[in-house]
Chains A and B, each alone.
Chain A
Amino acid sequence: MGKFIRLKKGFNINLAGKAAPKISEPEIADTFVIKPTDFQGTYMPKPVVKEGDIVRAGTALFHDKRHENVMYTAPVSGEIVEIKRGEKRKLLEVKILADKKMEYESFRKYSVSEINNLPVSEIKNQILKSGVWPNFIQRPFGVIADPSATPKAIHVSAFDTSPLAADYSLIFKGQDQFFQVGIDILKKLTSGAVHVNVHSTSEISTVFSQVKGAELNKFSGPHPAGNVGVQIHHIDPINKGDLVWTINPIGVIQIGKLFINGVYDASRIVALVGPEVQNPQYYKTYTGSAINKIVKGNLKNDHVRYISGNALTGSNIGASGHLGFFDHQLTILEEGDKYEFLGWITPSPKKLSFHRAFGLLSFLSPNKEYALNTNVHGEPRAFVQTGVFEKVLPMDILPTHLIKSILAEDIDEMEALGIYEVVEEDFALCEFVDVSKHNVQEILRDGIELLQNS
Chain B
Amino acid sequence: MKFLRDQLDHLKHNFEKGGKWEKFYFAYEAFDTFLFVPNSTTEGKGVQVRDAIDLKRLMMTVIIAMVPCLLFGIWNVGEQHFLAIGQAATLSEKIGVGLMKVVPIIIVSYAVGLGIEFVFSTIRKHPVNEGFLVTGMLIPLVMPPDVPLWQVALATIFAVIIGKEAFGGTGMNVLNVALTARAFLYFAYPTDISGEVWTYLGDGAKTVAGYSGATPLAIAAQSTGNVVNDLNTFGTGWADGIYSLKNLFLGVMPGCIGETSTLMCLIGGLILVLTGVGSWKIIFSVFAGAFGMGLFLNAVGTNPFTQLPAYYHLVVGGLAFGAVFMATDPVTAAQTETGKWIYGFLIGIFTVLIRVFNPAYPEGIMLAILLMNVFAPLIDYFVVNANKKRRLQRATV
Contacts and interface: CB of A to CB of B under 8 A. Distances in A.
B36 interface: yes
B56 interface: yes
Interface string B39-76: 11111111111111111111011001000000000000
A436 interface: yes
A398 to B, nearest CB: 6
A396 B49 CA distance: 26
B172 interface: yes
Given A372-B49, A416-B391, A441-B47, A339 B54 contact: no
Given A312-B48, A333-B48, A339-B36, A396 B387 contact: yes
Given A341-B1, A382-B170, A435-B55, A375 B47 contact: no
B36 A343 contact: yes
A319 to B, nearest CB: 14
B48 A337 contact: no
Contact of B61 (A339, A358, A372): A358
Contact of A339 (B5, B34, B172): B5
B55 A374 contact: no
Interface stretch (B217-225, B274-282, B364-372): B274-282
Nearest to A358: B61
Interface centre among A351, A357, A376, A431 (most CB of B within 10 A): A357
Contact of A239 (B56, B330, B391): B391
A381 B129 contact: yes
Interface stretch (B150-158, B229-237, B285-293, B333-341): B333-341
A433 interface: yes
A339 to B, nearest CB: 4
B130 to A, nearest CB: 7
B103 interface: no
Contact of B46 (A241, A379, A401, A439): A439
A316 B34 CA distance: 29
Given A316-B44, A375-B41, A386-B333, A432 B36 contact: no
Interface centre among B42, B388, B391 (most CB of A within 10 A): B42
Interface in A285-334: 305, 307, 311-316, 331, 333
A358 B56 CA distance: 10
Interface string A342-378: 1111001001111111111010000000001111111
B89 interface: no
Nearest to B33: A379
A356 B274 contact: yes
A366 B62 CA distance: 24
Contacts of A351: 52
B111 interface: no
Nearest to B383: A398
A218 interface: no
A378 B48 contact: no
Contacts of A418: 391
Contacts of B38: 339, 376, 378-379
A192 B335 CA distance: 38
B53 A357 contact: yes
A345 B56 contact: yes
B395 interface: yes
Interface in A387-430: 387, 390, 396-398, 400-401, 416-418, 424, 428
A147 B169 CA distance: 49
Nearest to A307: B48
A108 interface: no
B56 A378 contact: yes
Q: How large is the interface on A (under 10, 10 to 19, 20 to 34, 35 or more residues)?
A: 35 or more
A144 B337 CA distance: 36
Contacts of B359: none
B388 A417 contact: yes
Given A376-B42, A384-B55, A355 B49 contact: no
A386 B52 contact: no
B390 interface: yes
Contact of A337 (B1, B39, B276): B39
A448 B346 CA distance: 37
A439 B45 CA distance: 10
Contacts of B172: 382
A90 B113 CA distance: 50
Contacts of B33: 344, 379
B40 A435 contact: no
A174 interface: no
Contact of A376 (B40, B169, B337, B380): B40
A381 B131 CA distance: 10
A387 B337 contact: yes
A390 B40 CA distance: 27
Contact of A442 (B35, B46, B64): B46
A353 B277 CA distance: 13
Interface centre among B43, B129, B170, B276 (most CB of A within 10 A): B276
A9 B180 CA distance: 36
Contacts of B46: 313, 424, 428, 431, 439, 441-442
Contacts of A383: 171
B318 to A, nearest CB: 24
A353 B53 contact: yes
B333 to A, nearest CB: 7
A374 B42 contact: yes
25 contacts: A13-B49, A163-B49, A312-B48, A312-B49, A315-B44, A315-B45, A339-B37, A339-B38, A341-B5, A341-B35, A344-B56, A351-B52, A359-B57, A375-B50, A378-B56, A381-B127, A384-B129, A384-B170, A386-B333, A390-B337, A396-B387, A396-B391, A398-B387, A417-B384, A417-B387
Interface of B: 1, 4-5, 29, 33-58, 60-61, 64, 126-127, 129-131, 169-172, 274-277, 279, 330-331, 333, 335-337, 340, 380, 384, 387-388, 390-392, 394-395
Interface of A: 13, 15, 163, 237, 239-241, 305, 307, 311-316, 331, 333, 335-345, 348, 351-360, 362, 372-387, 390, 396-398, 400-401, 416-418, 424, 428, 431-437, 439, 441-442
Given A305-B41, A344-B34, 19 more contacts: A15-B49, A240-B395, A340-B37, A341-B4, A341-B5, A344-B33, A351-B52, A352-B49, A362-B52, A376-B50, A377-B37, A381-B127, A396-B391, A398-B336, A398-B387, A401-B380, A418-B391, A432-B51, A433-B51
